[in-house]
Amino acid sequence: MKRLFIFAALMIMCISCNRNTTLVAYFSATGTTKAVAEKIAAASQAELYEITPEEAYTDADLNWRDSLSRSSVEMADPTSRPAIKGGIKNIDRYETVYIGFPIWWYTAPTIINTFIEQNNLLGKNVKFFATSGSSDIDGAYKAFKKQYPQINWSGAALLNDSSAENIKSFISKGYVVGGAYGIKVLSDTVEDGVRTISAQTCSDVCSEQIIVSVKDGIVLKAEIVGGCPGNTVGVTQLVKGMNVDEAVERMEGIPCGGKKTSCPDQLSKVLRLFL
Same-domain status, 96 and 193: no
Domain shared by 161 and 222, yes or no: no
207-227: per-residue pLDDT in tens? Answer: 999 999 999 999 999 999 998
pLDDT of residue 104: 97
Q: Is the pLDDT of residue 177 over 60?
A: no
CA distance 136 to 157: 9
| 115 & 225 share domain | no
Residue 181, pLDDT score: 58
Residues 216 and 167 in one domain: no
Helix runs in the chain, H state only? 2-18, 32-44, 70-76, 110-118, 138-147, 164-173, 229-239, 244-251, 263-272
What CATH code is carried by the domain that includes residue 4?
Answer: 3.40.50.360
Residues with Cβ within 8 Å of residue 257, at least 6 apart in sequence: none
Is pLDDT at 82 greater than 50 in this prediction?
A: yes
Better pLDDT: 268 or 11: 268
* Domain termination site, one of 149, 180, 211: 180
Domain of residue 239 covers 184-275
Work out the pLDDT band at 138, boundaries 50, 70, 90: confident
Q: Are 175 and 195 members of one domain?
A: no
pTM above 0.85, yes or no: no
Based on the fold, state whether residues 135 and 52 are members of the same structural domain. yes
pLDDT exceeds 70 at position 254:
yes
Q: Which of 180, 200, 223 is the last residue of a domain?
A: 180
Residue 173, pLDDT score: 82
- Residue 108 one-letter amino acid: A
6 and 137 both lie in a single domain:
yes
Residues 161 and 271 in one domain: no
CATH of the domain at 192: 3.30.390
- Give the residue-averaged pLDDT of 127-141: 88
Lowest mean pLDDT among 87-91, 174-178, 187-191: 174-178
Q: What are the percentages of helix, strand and coil residues in the chain, rounded to 5?
A: 35, 25, 40
Long-range contacts of 34-39 (CB under 8 A, 24+ apart): 35/162, 36/100, 36/129, 36/131, 36/159, 36/162, 37/98, 37/100, 37/129, 39/162, 39/164, 39/167
Distances (CA, A) of 67 to 104, 111, 213, 260: 13, 18, 45, 25
**Between residues 137 and 193, which one has the greater pLDDT?**
193
Q: Does the pLDDT of residue 269 top 60, yes or no?
A: yes
When mean pLDDT is compared across 108-122, 182-196, 236-250, the lowest value belongs to: 182-196
* Strand 194-200 relative to strand 96-102, pairing: unpaired
135 lies in the same domain as 223: no
Nearest to 179 by CA among 192, 162, 193: 162
What is residue 20's predicted lDDT score, i.e. its pLDDT?
80
The CA–CA distances, whole Å, from 83 to 113, 152, 196, 241 equal: 10, 25, 43, 44
Of 180, 199, 229, the domain-final residue? 180
Q: 61 and 192 share a domain?
A: no
What is the H or E stretch that residue 214 is in? Answer: strand 207-215
Question: Are residues 133 and 93 located together in one domain of the fold?
Answer: yes
Q: How many domains does the chain have?
A: 2
In this structure, the answer to whether residues 188 and 121 fall within a common structural domain is no
pLDDT digits (tens, 9 = 90+) for 21-36: 999 999 999 999 999 9
Mean pLDDT of the chain: 89
Sheet holding 207-215, edge to edge: 184-191, 194-200, 207-215, 218-226
Q: Cα separation of 275 and 259, whole Å?
A: 26
**Predicted local distance difference test score (pLDDT) of residue 239:** 96
